[in-house]
Amino acid sequence: MKRIVLVSVLAAGLVASAVAQDVNIILPTVDSYYATTGRYLLSSPVTNRGMGRWAHLNLAVSNTNVYNYDDSVAVIAPGTADSTSAGRKADYLMSFTSKAFGGSEATSFSGPTVYHYSQAYVWKGLRGVVLAVQLKNLGSSAITGKLSFEFYPRIDQSYSGHSVRWRSQDSIAFYYRPGLSHYVAFKALNRAPVGLRTVNGTEFFATVTYAEGQPDSLRFKAANYASFDASRDAASADRSMIFLNQGSVTIDGGAQTGWYYYAVAYDTSEVKVIASLKEVETKYRSTLVSVERATNIIPEGYELSQNYPNPFNPATKIKFSVPQRSSVTLSVYDELGRNVCSLVNQQLDAGTYVSTFDASNLSSGVYYYVLRAGSFVESHKMILIR
């Protein structure tokens, strides 16, 4: 295989490297890695042992049609420091794009292709990351299905013998291998889960004949599970699979979903891993989320207000209202029409919201912000004065 080094940085114990389609960022607190297959892996840099291996955000359409993990096909775009063009703040931003095929596991399926965009936000000093996932329908017809994220526990390089627990009080799931001081916790951050299903992966794969579509049948069943498995203790020879279910979504032809965010962390005990996960969640809320609910009153219609203050330096607030649950984007453009920041890109419940736009890294000038929610589109002009 031809080796193509995309990024190579050696400084103060930090390594960010990519070979072919691999991307790997090793920090003193976390080892964050995208494999050539498109899977994301989290490891401990102290023990150099894997903690978890995640596949794709599945879209379960029917008993024989689940858009799920397949071979990676597109680009890896590792980044360092802040990405002002994406409006995101992290010490490292890792990206991966891959395909998710529907129908049976047979490669002859001819349905529309779904692209799976994945990003990992990595901060120095945190024992975890934020994963962001987005699905795009490349077909011409709408696709409706159940969202279900697959997790593969893999502590100390082994898939076997994991115990899984669900904390209903804060919607956090965690797993560990008895006898080892390694724990991994995860949580859906911007779309509430409706179920958590844990299954015996050994039985799952042992009964599968890919050409018959059985994996889709089993994944569809798991994605429709609307309860929460409070606990599961796997036998030493069993491998666990975890499905975090997040309800139905419709992706129109040529359209894409908003970003779905997940916090993932590891540590040496249950108490510590929950604390580490909450640190990651706090970082997500303080740096990746730029929208807050202003009132619980349900508005009568869509509305985009003029930013305040205006002119501004360096930050301003933008208020908008949505009368029903909607897929909302709020983007900022410069005078040449270039997207300089995506403030909001997610599903929001009915309500009035305020988003803060920080232009610290931008030059003086005229900017435009555009709200898109359903068929509603509106824009306003604002002025940055240094």
Better-scored residue on pLDDT, 150 or 306: 306
Count of residues for the chain?
386
Q: Return the pLDDT at 142.
A: 87
Could you tell me the pLDDT band of residue 47, with boundaries at 50, 70 and 90?
A: low
35 or 269, which is more confident: 269
Mean pLDDT of 155-166: 86
pTM, full prediction: 0.72
pLDDT, mean of residues 319-340 = 88
Q: Where are the domains of the chain?
A: 5-288, 292-384
Q: What is the pLDDT of residue 201?
A: 77
**What does the pLDDT average to over 213-233?**
83
Phi and psi torsions of 247, nearest 5°: 80, -170
The H-assigned helical ranges of 20-144 are: none
The answer to whether the peptide bond before residue 314 is cis (omega within 30 degrees of 0) is yes
- Whether 222 has a pLDDT exceeding 70, the answer reads yes
Q: What are phi and psi of 234, to 5 degrees?
A: -85, 145
Q: Which residues pair with 256 in a beta bridge?
A: 136
Q: Has residue 110 got a pLDDT over 90?
A: no
pLDDT at 214: 60
The domain 292-384 is placed in CATH, from the list 2.60.40.60, 3.40.50.720, 2.30.40.10, 2.60.40.1930, at 2.60.40.1930
Select the CATH number that applies to the domain covering 5-288 from these four: 3.90.660, 1.50.10, 2.70.98, 3.50.40: 2.70.98
Q: What is the spatial distance between Cα 22 and Cα 78, in angstroms, rounded to a whole number? A: 10
Lowest-pLDDT range of 1-5, 75-79, 246-250: 1-5
